[in-house]
Amino acid sequence: MILFLMDQTDETYMELALGAAVKAGRRGEVPVGACVVGPDGNVLAVASNSPIADSDPTAHAEILALRQAAAKLGNYRLTGCSVYTTIEPCVMCAGALLNARIGRLVYGAADDRFGAVESRFRLCDDSSLNHTIELVSGVLEERCSALMSGFFEELRAKRRKPSD
């Protein structure tokens, strides 16, 4: 595994992903946001989770951001691009990152239940695959984690509340 130290730029891009995650949460979606940045540092896409609104199980923030960035560049290969996401990607999203040939993945909080980058599986740096991704974890981790925890605490509280 290649692990790079975060820098101020990582935090700046993660702020964009966090903003998208907050928007998702306000819409009742799981609050995950993602941002794709080109090799030149330009932001290519920012997206938030929307599987409920889109009735699409693949409408995770990372997938939507990859689609937008690929359309903007006119290429399904996003070689040299970086993805910033508030939560460790799931198996589907990690696979999409690999297929897009993302160069670097930066994520905020680990996902002990579904994380496919470091927590449950190690897809992005598996040397048996034909591509690996440079990894940085823990960027604005406390804020990313608190956003997720708060969302699910509120959801559980609503479910416990007796109907009027």
- Is residue 52 packed enough to be buried (19+ CB in 10 Å), middle (13-18) or exposed (0-12)? middle
Alpha-carbon distance 117 to 137, whole Å? 10
pLDDT given at position 163: 60
* HSE (side-chain half, CA atoms, 13 Å) at 145: 10
pLDDT given at position 8: 60
Q: Find the catalytic residue in 11, 15, 29, 62.
A: 62
Prediction pTM value: 0.91
pLDDT given at position 102: 98
pLDDT given at position 129: 92
pLDDT given at position 6: 47
User: Are 63 and 55 within 8 A, CB to CB?
Assistant: no
Whether 62 is a known active-site residue: answer yes
Alpha-carbon distance 48 to 67, whole Å? 12
pLDDT given at position 3: 41
pLDDT given at position 160: 82
pLDDT < 50 regions, the chain: 1-6
